Chain A
Amino acid sequence: MPTPTDVVTREQDGPDTGTTTPPSRRRFFVLGAGAVATLATTSATTAQTGFPRGKPIKKTQPAGIRPDPSTEWKDPLLRLVRRITMGLAPAEIALARQLGYAGYLEYQLNASAIDDSVVDARIAMQMPLLSQTADQLRQAPDGGEVYNQLADMTMYRAAFSKKQLYERMVEFWTDHFSTLYDKIGHFKVIDDRQVIRPHALGKFPDMLRASANSAAMLYYLDQASSRKPTPNENYAREIMELHSLGADGGYTQNDVAQLARILTGWSINYNPGTFVFNFGNHDTSAKTFLGTNFPATGTNAAAAAAMKAEGDTAITMLINHPSTARYLSLKMAQWLLAYTPPAAVVDATAAVYTATGGDIKAMIRTILSGKNVMASPAKYKRPFHLITSSVRSMVTEVTNIRAVRARLSQLDMESFYWEQPDGYPDRVSWWSGLVTQRWNWATYISNLNSATVARVNTVASFRAPQDNAAGVINQINGRLFGGEMPRALGSALQAYLMAATYNDARVRETLALAVSSQEFQWY
């Protein structure tokens, strides 16, 4: 188990002063643009650009001189807290300091031992529909209330659960096994309860099998209606491409067709939304999937178990496939560590997957070694993460999370509403253009002072122990940046705060600027 003692200082990616720019291009710039005043000699930066899936982007550009915010992040413990939580918060930092790097990581990995009863009780009280059965939910007069409670719960737990790494992984798996609420409705409540949350830090094979039995998934990807002789290929393709092997995982179009045949009959009872195998819809003739023969089965009810078992065998083949080990390891490392994780980290994690039978905790331990965490550049917060991180660092009282959560729609990231089955993107270029939406969020949260929604208590949280400009800046540094706020940002914030009469409105505007600052957009 790596500890902070094996931390190495992150190497700069090499000096670049633009001297590698080809002279011809340089000349072109001057000639071509006509009105060029200044030549950009250092336009390359160290920004991670992110990548949706597959192989990491090769580094083809020399790194620039403009550093990403992680160059200020010297403390390994704070880097770990940024990596495995939904945002820095004073109590979280204190706990991490008490437990140390390895101890805090183990504490978060062992989520089932964490007492979260306060949050659980709140959920039970404010989101009661979520403890109903599928049949009750189906009959509930909806009007959007089932969705609202599910989305509220998701945001509330992400922001306030003590099981922070667990919530990070719930978010990850929700995208990995993404479904569209608009199509599946209350089935998602059951999917969250029976697929995502029980296995988020468990064994991947269990989660894949649970997902393959989930009404939400089988309905969303049309498996529920697939039957011989012309099966529906939708789920057969995506369980390989998105859920296990990855697009380059070594299967062919014929394998998609064969797996679709193997899975014919895997369906659901729409009421109440449980898995069922309809042997009458199953294609009983022989198949060959990923080079393995599946001989013809009997055609009557007596052979139903053998028919159904073909699908179980095929899924086990996916689980044991080296492409699955590699693809999951890459995706998890991209989520937890860096958009382009080192190949050695991915390989090591894949080896752990294989050795442990897909133990997600063991894979995370490998990914999050102190050495790896210190070497990883910053990642850009998706809107959900921006919201939770500002709430965690600023909000001390929440009466009802709904209004806060509903801001996700203005940030174009409503939970369970990504249309395609690949989940919300995790790359900078997709999100970074939503600048004004982010700044407006910052203004909203900083001015939140409502007895019925939530409160940023500036007097208690920012204007104490010192009720003056320097004191407020100090508190912003501690609460929002864990004490690692860049000096220039602190000076600029303080200058802004002092440029007008010191009062609560000015303090809140300064808070909004801190949340809006480019440094706060990264973790």
Chain B
Amino acid sequence: MHDETNDTGCQEYRSLARRDFLVRGAGFGIAAMLPSWLPNVVLAQSSSSRDIIVSVFLSGGCDGMSLVVPFGDPAYYTGRPNISIARPDAAGTEPKAIALDNFFGFSPGMAPLMPAYTAGDLLVAHATGSVDTSRSHFDAQRYIEVGKPRDLNLATGWLGRHLATSTPLRSTAPLRALGLTSGLPTTLVGGPKTLPISSPSAFRVDGSSATANARAQFLAANYASAVEPVSANALDATNTIALLQTINFSGYTTQNGAVYPNTGFGNALKSSAALIKSDVGIEAIHAFLGGWDTHSAQGSRPGIDNSYMHNRMLELSGALAAFYADVMQGTTANGVTLVVISEFGRNARENGDKGTDHGRGNVAFAMGKKINGGRVLTNSWPGLARENLESGQDLRVTLDHRDILAEIVQKRLGNTNLSTIFPDYTPQFRNVVKA
């Protein structure tokens, strides 16, 4: 299982990591890992019934009305003459939406998710988003990642605070969470034993195997006195080397014939699957999928404008569908819940470039065996007629995205510290999770 050919010195690292870091780490105890900014919390207890969470952020402001088409709203078609997706019952041969109910349908690019939807394991939520009205990518994304609108001072993320207020799924786990990202996403900031690892299969320390042990000892001592998060990062990274070398990423075999798209995102979810199935105590994974800032020639219809957004959707839905078949219908020690959100939706009406500018209300997804899916959740559809739009141009947000996340955090991740994870928010559960 473990490929020895390209990681000389790993054996030393593995043994030294245990000896010098795990042992020392244990001396600190769990409390030492708790950041001082945490208010009083009740630590969520470890439980085999707790789910692992995979959080996907569609960065750029995804045009949710192209993913999940409100074909029952006539204003959708009048506002989008060049980029809309035809009704499921439309005449002609053009590509059509696939009905989810009598009002909403998947774009053709989302078709691979139909099995998860019809099985009742995929929940689609619409007209969701942040209660903050910012149409700035960076502010909107930041408020969603920290889990609190309009707070410029909060530096930690909602998932980071979930981790900080729950006992580890496995007490010996060297790594509890990772971002499959080039740096640590704000969502995960504040989480103990959490690292950005853009390529888990390439996570190693170079150099002579003969001196690996001595060098690691040097660095352990050196980084022990560093400020945080630099010190903890070094400790976690060193421990994680050994962990990841026990996992065969390149030879990973999927279950149920699942095929992940050979793209960055597809490979990220495939790596996630390998990590989850190896049962090493990873309990949260965060990934980005970009390319959604479709101001021009968005190509949400197949065959138009190089099918640009259609292909983005296929990448998203293909990876999620593979993950569904491989992980959620496969064998895992813990259950898995996956959520997909974006910073905001886009204008109800297309612009002169056959694209859409920054908007508000959007689609979100939750997937898992314990998700109360197979339906499109709305808090009464606000409508796309001009008089119903926010600022005359955008789908209103009638469903706080935190309603979805908070219910999952409490009911599937077993953490009741919602006032810490989502400060100044009154939880409003909407039967996202099965009773």
Contact = CB atoms under 8 A, between A and B. Distances in A.
Contacts of B100: none
Interface in B113-150: 133-139, 142
Contacts of B32: 38-40, 43
Where chain B touches its partner, the secondary structure class is: loop
Given A22-B40, A40-B34, A513-B219, A57 B155 contact: yes
Interface in B267-321: 290-291, 293, 295-296
A52 B228 contact: no
Contacts of A38: 27-29, 31-32
Interface in A213-257: 221-222, 225-234, 237, 241, 247, 253-254, 256
B357 to A, nearest CB: 4
Given A222-B296, A230-B349, A253-B135, A425 B222 contact: no
B31 A435 contact: no
A436 B152 contact: no
A35 B171 contact: yes
Contacts of A225: 296, 353
Nearest to B290: A419
Where chain A touches its partner, the secondary structure class is: loop
A227 B353 CA distance: 8
B237 interface: yes
Contact of A428 (B136, B221, B229, B353): B229
Instruction: Give the interface centre of B197, B204, B206, B349 by most chain A CB atoms within 10 Å.
Output: B206
A429 B189 contact: yes
A512 B207 contact: yes
Contact of B29 (A37, A232, A509): A37
A27 to B, nearest CB: 9
Interface residues of B, number: 84
Nearest to B137: A420
Contacts of B241: 436
A43 B35 contact: yes
Interface stretch (A60-68, A140-148, A351-359): A60-68
A47 B232 CA distance: 13
Interface stretch (A296-304, A320-328, A437-445): A437-445
Contacts of B229: 47, 428-429, 432-433
A509 B211 contact: yes
Interface stretch (A83-91, A129-137, A514-522): A514-522
Contact of A433 (B33, B135, B184, B204): B184
24 contacts: A21-B36, A45-B228, A60-B37, A226-B352, A230-B351, A233-B295, A247-B134, A247-B136, A413-B182, A419-B60, A420-B290, A425-B183, A428-B229, A432-B184, A433-B184, A433-B195, A435-B233, A440-B205, A489-B222, A513-B219, A516-B219, A517-B219, A517-B222, A518-B234
Interface of A: 21-22, 24-25, 28-30, 32-40, 43-47, 49, 51-55, 57-58, 60-61, 66-68, 221-222, 225-234, 237, 241, 247, 253-254, 256, 380, 412-413, 419-422, 425, 428-436, 439-440, 443-444, 488-489, 492, 496, 499-500, 505, 509, 512-513, 516-519, 521
